[in-house]
Structure 1
Amino acid sequence: MSICNGESDNVNSKLPVCIRNLTVKYGENIAIENVSFEIKEGEYLGVIGPNGGGKTTLLRSILGLTPVTAGKVDIYGEKAGKTDRLIGYVPQITAVDKLFPITVSEVVLTGRLKSKVSLFHKYCKEDLEKTEQALEAVGIVHLRNRMISDLSGGEFQKMLIARALAVEPKLMLLDEPTASVDAQSRDAIFSLLNRLNQKMTIVLVTHDLMAVSSHVKELACINGKLVYHGIAEINEEIVQNLYNCPVDLIAHGVPHRVLKEHKG
């Protein structure tokens, strides 16, 4: 990842993501202010930051779901929102109703829906084949006929990733994919994403600082503004700028004081 030149259009227009001077406001509240960077083909980018720091807003801006107050977001040379078939999106588990009466394969099939469908839409043979391939890719083809209410947290997350894969994306966006899953499922998801990164560009939003830094290739740290971008290495200066105070880091369930003790 590198900084885009916000003053010039002389950039590679076919980059997966190019963000220039992005500002997003909700009413009078600034969620993101003057953020500029680009994501190159094949990158695996982790986006970290505090609650309310703008991480999800950044994803929604890339998806074209959030109105941009100022600046520009281009996806493969097109304005965000016009490249739906190039992007696979995995929302937070909490945004999905687990009690809805639907099977795993039916959820993944919805990834094949286009923006405009008729009331009596029928899936074609290719849709069914791509759904099966996506289920195989994440290792849950044996769960195809299970109701989603019967899935574990890790299985549910893999289903959402399969749904995103059904689009056959070039760019995968994930919002907190390891939240609400156990340690074993988290490791399995990161292993899956490492494999997928061989075929596509990945942007991952998470609170899991230590885990993500050991898996992604690069980091973007967002707290309203872009605090850091570059190699996946977290140090005292980055964390202090990101959270505005020293923070204890926890690895394998054991707190390790790597920064100065916070007083006051």
Structure 2
Amino acid sequence: MIELKNLQNSRQLQKAVYIQNLSVQYGKTPALTGVSLNVDEGEYLGIIGPNGGGKTTLLKAILGLVTPAAGEITVYGRKPGKTGKLIGYVPQITILDKNFPITVKQVILTGRLNPVLSLFHKYKHGDMKKADELLSQVGIYKLKDRMISELSGGEFQKMLIARALAVEPKLLLLDEPTASVDASSRDQIFSLLETLNNSMTIILVTHDLLAVS
């Protein structure tokens, strides 16, 4: 079972996410059953539940990465998978290869890529400038030329948030954003999210009650 907790009063401007009677299965195994959820634009929503409780599956359904067995989902009135750059996504840190040979800034720049372009896409001056702005915003500009294998857990998480912001989303989804980070980094991350919530809708999933206290 997952618990929903509002982290900020809704501004009641527009439905960012609409979910009605959503069910998702992996083979014959149900992952979500009959979930309904309305998220208003500007809301900051924490979804709390144990590991294996369906939290990540819910985010994947919003992103269009899994096909529902039943139910309806829209994101700003669009079907999942048809949202373009409306959504920024921060996956679980534990599923990523920290030994991949790439610098922090290069990771941010991948968030500026247009998937329909050639693999040999050349970044524009605006892309480089935006990457630097995001690195400053999340507090890791001085690490921009460092290899990602050299980052601490908190620094790595901030990098992933910056990459998600590179698409300039209206909705930010985060999966266990404080996993594998120390207390100081956790506080910094949630302070950053509070600031970001001034300009976008945020949904995070976590098993950590401290994250939404």
Equivalent-residue separation in structure 2 for 1:181 and 1:105 (angstroms): 21
Q: What's the counterpart of residue 51 of structure 1?
A: 51
Q: CA deviation at 1:197?
A: 0.8
Q: Which residues of 2 match residues 109-128 of structure 1 at below 5 A? A: 109-128=109-128
Query: Which residue of the partner structure matches residue 25 of structure 1?
Result: 25
Higher alpha-carbon deviation: 13-22 or 109-118: 13-22
Aligned to 1:144: 144
3-state SS of paired residue (1:78) = coil
Is 1:206 the counterpart of 2:200? The answer is no
| 8 Å contact kept, 1:14–1:75 | no
**Which amino acid is the alignment partner of residue 152 of structure 2?**
S
- Matched-pair contact (CA < 8 Å) for 2:31–2:57: yes
| CA distance in structure 1 between the partners assigned to 2:196 and 2:208 by the alignment | 20
Alpha-carbon distance between aligned partners in 2 of 1:129 and 1:190, rounded to the nearest angstrom: 25
Find the aligned partners of 2:13 and 2:19 in 1 and give their Cα distance.
11
Which residue matches 1:259?
A: none
Aligned with 1:84: secondary structure?
A: coil
- State the partner residue of 2:183: 183
The equivalences for 1:86-101 within 5 A come to: 86-101=86-101
SS of equivalent residue, structure 1 residue 30:
strand
Name 1:84's counterpart in structure 2. Answer: 84
1:115: Cα distance to partner? Answer: 2.2
Q: Distance in 1 between matches of 2:100 and 2:176?
A: 21
Task: Please say if residues 178 and 211 of structure 2, whose CA atoms lie closer than 8 Å, have aligned partners that are also in contact.
Answer: no
Q: Name the CA distance, whole Å, in 1 between partners of 2:140 and 2:28.
A: 45
Question: What is the alpha-carbon distance in structure 1 between the residues aligned to residue 37 and residue 120 of structure 2?
Answer: 42
SS for the counterpart of 2:21 is strand
CA contact (8 A) 1:103 1:146 kept: yes
Deviation at residue 14 of structure 1 after TM alignment: 4.9
- The one-letter code matched in structure 2 to 1:115 is P
Q: Is the 8 A contact 1:89 1:172 kept in 2?
A: yes
Native 8 Å contact 2:105 2:144 kept in 1? yes
Q: Is the 8 A contact 1:131 1:166 kept in 2?
A: yes
Q: Is the 8 A contact 1:13 1:76 kept in 2?
A: no
Q: How far, CA to CA, are the matches of 2:121 and 2:140 in structure 1?
A: 26
User: In the alignment, what sits opposite 2:8?
Assistant: none
Q: Please list the CA deviations of residues 205-227 of structure 1 after superposition, one character each: whole Å capped at 9, or x if unmatched.
A: 11111x1232xxxxxxxxxxxxx
Once the two structures are TM-superposed, the CA of residue 119 in structure 1 deviates from its matched residue by: 2.5
1:163 aligns with 2:163: yes
* C-alpha displacement of 1:121: 1.2
> Partners of 1:159 and 1:213 in 2: how far apart?
22
Residue 117 of structure 1 deviates from its aligned partner by 2.4
> 1:87-140: per-residue Cα shift (whole Å, max 9, x none)?
110011111110000000000001111222213111112211211111111011
TM-score (norm 1): 0.74
CA radius of gyration, larger in: 1
Q: Distance in 2 between matches of 1:37 and 1:99?
A: 38
**Counterpart position of 1:154:** 154
Measure, in 2, the Cα distance between the counterparts of 1:38 and 1:111: 27
Q: What is the alpha-carbon distance in structure 2 between the residues aligned to residue 193 and residue 199 of structure 1?
A: 10
| Aligned amino acid, residue 208 of structure 1 | D
Look up the match of 1:5.
none
Alignment of 1:5-44 (within 5 A): 14-44=14-44
State TM-score, norm by structure 2: 0.92
Gaps of 5+ in 1: 3-11, 215-264
State the secondary structure of the residue aligned to 1:45.
strand
Q: Deviations over 1:5-38 (max 9, x none)?
A: xxxxxxx995110001111011111100111111
What is the alpha-carbon distance in structure 1 between the residues aligned to residue 81 and residue 163 of structure 2? 19
Q: Cα RMSD (Å) of the superposition?
A: 1.7
1:65 equivalent in structure 2? 65
